[in-house]
Each structure stands twice: as structure tokens, then as C-alpha cells.
Copies of this chain bind each other. A is one copy, B any other.
């Protein structure tokens, strides 16, 4: 900068003002500085600028590298981040919540305290309560995507699991189903509990009297879906529809049904939740609930930018609407019975 200043006959400070582009400089001086900078092949040193500004220019995106990185869901959320953050002058760095170093939020907070990142975005759907609780009150700008966090300092952007599951149940009900069973998810995940609550509320609202074993345990896995389905489909009062707490579980249910010689959807309707890419690729394509991943990313990044620029850690809780997608795994009841 000094070279440019000398060449232009102005001070280093004026050059800085032009190059950082956020202070008023006369148009004539500005152009002169810019042209000299170009002719001198000058490159702005972002690192030094950020050091002086006491910021890193990076936002940390934390997610489990096994399980979530590599999914279209994560990619969509991330594109949402990028769109907002890049415009606001930040880049994204990736951190693994599963690595030894990040068993809890305290470790993540160190990234901030050491000035490696200016804020954190946690992509954490289906994450255990314990981890999420460790995020509370770290004194760091943090936004969690995919789960609602119960904290005054941590913001979160989640989607309306309850509403989505309600739509699924209503969809089946409209198709004539009255014998609707449910395969639960892990009880330490808030998403799983919300989905289950919606199912139970729906049954109560419509006065569906269902036997206790219509509520089966599950673990959000294909295998657990198969196990639960076998119990349900072998019981004397066989359901005409099975609502799975997520897509994996639904895949397991369908696999079990097929093994037992039942056709989906003719003999059994099955629904999932999450709308993984394979949900639409499988046969039959799965009726499920789609989450607005990119919008969640954008909303989360918006909140984070506000926290980082204001320095205020007031938490915002946003819950986005989801949309059920009817595909080929559900059918009208009288069609075959």
C-alpha cells in the first residue's frame, strides 16, 4: 500500500480507504489509486485486514462427516449458506462434529474463541439432545439448522415436523385408511418425538382407536423398519397403512412387506419423512415429506450474519413449513380391499 501511496502522492490511509471500499474518497483519487494498484500488480492482503478487524472472515459449518456430508440435504443447506454468506463477505469452513475434537459444543466454541471463525452454523437434524444441549450459552454466535434448540443464546432454524406428519396422516385418512400404524424414531431426537406426537394427536382427533402395538419402536434405520413391520404385519389386526418416522424406516417397512408377499401400495400404504433423494428413485416411489433445505440454509445464515455484525446473541427460533409429496407408495383403500 505504501508503494501505491507514494506513486499516487497520497497517504497509505487513503489507499486503504479506497481498497477496502467502505469509506468516502473523492472519485478522482479513487480511480488513480485503483489504476496504480493494478499497474503495480498489488494484491490486497485479506489476512492482515481481518487481523486488524479482529475477525477471521470465515464461518464454521459443523456437521457429522459420516451420515450428513454427502447427502443432497446437506448440499442444499450449504448452498443456502453460501448464497447469503458470500454476499455478506464470509467464506465457509467445514468441521466434523464426529471427530474426537468435537464431542460437544464447548470444543466447537474454541474455534470462535481462538478467532478461527466468526460464527458457527451447525447442521444437525436428528442430533442427540445431549450434543444440542451442549451448544447452549457458549457465548458464541451459533445457529443450529434442522433442530430446535432450547437456549436463549443459540438460534435455530428447523422445519415443522408436527405439521408435516399431520399432513401425512390426513393424506392416508382421505384415502380411506383407518387402520394406521406408526413406527417411531429414537426417543432422544426431538424430530422423532414431534413426528410421533403429531401421529398420536391425529389419531385422537379423528377418534381412531388403535391397539397399543400399532405404535412400534424404530431407530430411523432400514433394519429397524423391517423388524417393526414384521410385528405389525403379522398381528391379527393388520394395519392398512404404516407411517414411518423417516424414509429409512419406510424403506425397511416396504422391504418387509415385499418379503411377506404384500404389494405396496395395493395391499399396504407406506409413508416416510425427509424425502431423501432415493425416496423418489425407488420402486415404488415413496410418499414422504420434503424439507425446504436451501431455504433453511439461507434463513440460518441470515440470522448468523445478524448476530455476527451486531454482536448480540439474541436467539431467534424459526420453523419453516414443509410439504408432503404424494408418490406411489400410498393408494386409496377401497381400490383393493
Contacts and interface: CB of A to CB of B under 8 A. Distances in A.
B82 A96 contact: yes
Copies of the polypeptide in the assembly: 2
A45 B96 CA distance: 21
A96 B82 CA distance: 9
Nearest to A43: B113
A214 interface: no
A44 B110 CA distance: 10
A182 interface: no
A115 interface: yes
Given A46-B114, A116-B46, A281-B278, A74 B82 contact: no
Contacts of A94: 61, 78, 82, 91-94
A219 B277 CA distance: 22
A48 B115 CA distance: 9
A116 B95 contact: no
Nearest to A95: B91
Contacts of A93: 58, 91-94
A150 to B, nearest CB: 27
Interface string A86-103: 100001111110010000
Main secondary structure on A side of the interface with B: mixed
A70 interface: yes
Interface in A8-56: 43-48, 50-51, 54-56
Nearest to A70: B75
B110 A43 contact: yes
A116 B96 contact: no
A189 interface: no
Name, among A47, A96, A114, A283, the residue most crowded by chain B CB atoms within 10 Å (CB to CB).
A47
Contact of A51 (B51, B76, B91): B51
A320 to B, nearest CB: 20
A91 to B, nearest CB: 5
B91 A57 contact: no
A264 to B, nearest CB: 15
Given A58-B93, A91-B95, A93-B91, A47 B51 contact: yes
A69 interface: yes
30 contacts: A43-B114, A44-B114, A45-B114, A46-B115, A46-B116, A47-B51, A47-B55, A47-B56, A47-B115, A47-B116, A48-B51, A48-B115, A51-B51, A58-B93, A61-B94, A65-B75, A65-B79, A65-B82, A66-B79, A69-B78, A69-B79, A70-B75, A70-B76, A78-B94, A82-B96, A86-B99, A91-B95, A91-B116, A93-B93, A278-B281
